[in-house]
């Protein structure tokens, strides 16, 4: 049976095909300068983080560098606490807590870390500031690059490169200063009296800073950093991101300030492309959510400035959620955000408990492998041990040695030993026990060390006392 099917007319859609020339030009992004509320917050956060990065290694605590990550000595000194390889669980808990914090914040507010606090973003904007001071605005930089080399172009390029290299060297010096004595490092640098490893480390990190902030810039954010790739897993309809209000802005098009957009059949977007020109990754936010967007909010400031000049309401581009754009209420408390928050609280609690319960001393027991036990002339049984006492505090400690778990024992060797701050002392000791006290071949007991300066510092280590009564006919 034949049936006529009504065919409705469909609106024509303009398919935008990639322009090879535009793809080539994107390899060099000329970012336009913009001022606004979000730019002020981003600049303020960047200044605070930069000041913390520079000042922290110069802080002195108890006569020593407050923060020193000494890889050669295998210890991290963080103000009043010294971390050793045995304290790796602290680093693990801290890393997991930081990951949960990042996931929680990202689920709620998107990539605010990338836009406001990431070191790559902070140093990129520092380099861009020098670029603007020496080469001018966006249009001036584009014209300068198109010109042939002359004296004006030469001195501007040279001054910019000099500033970049200076910032890179200072950044590398401060960064390496977290791993060595920063005061001595600066003295050795300016007197050209530094070691091969110090010089190599500074040059390497200076080169990385220069390349990342000066040239790679958005490539780090879009192709190298894995965070840009897996961030979509944490996004949902209630995540705040920089978004373009399509219903309000489309259809876009230019118009005069006094023209009524409704009569022209246009939305509020005047298609000025300022949102693209100020974007440090070179994307068009009007094309929707893209993994290249770092949520810096510069396009928000640019668009709000245009809306203010056109006397339109602000917020055509704004921080909002997909659910809010559809006219619904955003849900801050949902399964994903609550789950991340619970994980953050749980891991942070474990981290705090581990720090509070941490004992700033460690004891390692090594048995004498040449002879498991020995009977002396009095008929008592001897076991020989070597104790390695690690003072993980930042003050010298005097430790008293005792034994728990065996009656009528005697200790031969040092029972009181002073160990310097951050030092490890080897203490040979012999435990002597009458054979009638030994009921089995293996007897578990504890070595106990207690600080004389702080009796609350106590550490125990379990080991075994070995004796074979069958060899002496005493079984």
Task: Kindly state the helix (H) or strand (E) to which residue 469 belongs, with its residue range.
Answer: none
Give the pTM: 0.81
Alpha helices in 321-473 (DSSP H): 322-325, 335-357
The DSSP bridge partners found for residue 320 are 241
Number of Cβ within a 10 Å radius of residue 44: 11
Listed by start position, the domains of the chain span 27-58+110-233, 241-325, 361-472
Q: Specify the CATH number for 361-472; select among 3.90.850.10, 2.60.40.10, 2.60.120.10, 2.30.30.50.
A: 2.60.40.10
The count of C-alpha atoms lying within 13 angstroms of the C-alpha of 238, restricted to the half-sphere facing its C-beta, is: 15
Closest of 368, 378, 369 to residue 430, by C-alpha? 368
Token pair 């770092």: residue:
294
Q: Where are the beta strands (DSSP E) in 279-415?
A: 317-320, 361-367, 374-375, 381-391, 397-404, 410-413
Per-residue model confidence as pLDDT tens for the chain (475 residues):
455 555 444 444 343 444 444 444 446 899 999 999 999 999 999 999 999 999 999 999 888 899 999 988 888 888 888 888 888 888 899 999 999 999 999 999 988 988 998 999 999 999 999 999 999 999 999 999 999 999 999 999 999 999 999 999 999 999 999 999 999 999 999 998 888 999 999 999 999 999 999 999 988 888 888 887 777 778 889 999 999 999 999 999 999 888 988 889 999 999 999 999 999 999 999 998 888 899 999 999 999 999 999 999 999 999 999 999 988 998 988 899 999 999 999 999 999 998 888 888 889 999 988 888 888 888 899 999 999 999 988 888 999 999 998 888 999 988 999 998 888 999 999 999 998 888 888 899 999 999 998 888 899 999 999 888 776 555 4
**Residues 259 and 291: beta-carbon distance below 8 Å:** no
């Amino acid at each position: 049976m034949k049936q006529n099917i009504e065919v409705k007319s469909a609106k024509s859609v303009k398919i935008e095909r990639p322009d090879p020339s535009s793809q080539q030009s994107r390899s060099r992004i000329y970012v336009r300068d913009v001022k606004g509320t979000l730019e002020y917050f981003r600049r303020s956060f960047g200044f605070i983080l930069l000041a913390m990065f520079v000042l922290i290694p110069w802080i002195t605590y108890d006569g020593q560098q407050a923060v020193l990550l000494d890889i050669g000595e295998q210890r991290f000194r963080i103000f009043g606490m010294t971390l050793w390889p045995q304290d790796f669980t602290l680093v693990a808990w801290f890393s997991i807590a930081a990951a949960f914090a990042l996931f929680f914040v990202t689920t709620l507010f998107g990539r605010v870390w990338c836009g406001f606090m990431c070191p790559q973003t902070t140093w990129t904007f520092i380099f861009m500031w020098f670029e603007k001071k020496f080469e001018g605005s966006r249009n001036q930089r584009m014209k300068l690059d198109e010109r042939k080399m002359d004296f004006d172009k030469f001195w501007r390029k040279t001054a910019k490169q000099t500033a970049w290299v200076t910032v890179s060297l200072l950044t590398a010096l401060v960064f390496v200063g977290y791993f060595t004595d920063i005061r001595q490092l600066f003295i050795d640098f300016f007197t050209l009296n530094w070691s091969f490893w110090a010089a190599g480390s500074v040059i390497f990190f200076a080169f990385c800073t220069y390349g990342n902030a000066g040239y790679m810039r958005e490539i780090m954010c879009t192709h190298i950093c894995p965070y840009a790739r897996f961030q979509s897993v944490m996004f949902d309809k209630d995540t705040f991101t920089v978004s373009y209000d399509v219903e309000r802005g489309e259809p876009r098009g230019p118009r005069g300030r006094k023209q009524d957009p409704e009569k022209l059949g246009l939305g509020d977007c005047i298609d000025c492309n300022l949102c693209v020109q100020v974007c440090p990754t070179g994307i068009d936010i009007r094309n929707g959510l893209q993994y290249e967007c770092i949520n810096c909010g510069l396009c928000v400031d640019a668009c709000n400035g245009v809306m203010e000049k056109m006397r339109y309401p602000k917020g055509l581009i704004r921080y909002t959620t997909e659910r809010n754009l559809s006219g619904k209420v955003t849900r801050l408390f949902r399964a994903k955000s609550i789950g991340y928050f619970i994980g953050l609280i749980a891991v942070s609690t474990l981290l705090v408990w581990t720090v509070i319960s941490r004992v700033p001393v460690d004891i390692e027991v090594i048995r004498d492998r040449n002879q498991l036990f020995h009977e002396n002339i009095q008929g008592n049984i001897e076991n020989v041990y070597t104790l390695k006492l690690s003072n993980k505090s930042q003050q010298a400690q005097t430790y008293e040695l005792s034994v728990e778990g065996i009656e009528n024992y005697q200790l031969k060797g040092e029972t009181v030993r002073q160990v310097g701050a951050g030092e490890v002392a080897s203490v040979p000791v012999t435990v002597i026990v009458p054979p009638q006290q030994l009921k089995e071949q293996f007897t578990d007991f504890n070595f106990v060390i207690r600080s004389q300066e702080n009796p609350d510092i106590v550490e125990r280590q379990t080991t075994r006392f070995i004796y074979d009564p069958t060899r002496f006919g005493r079984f």
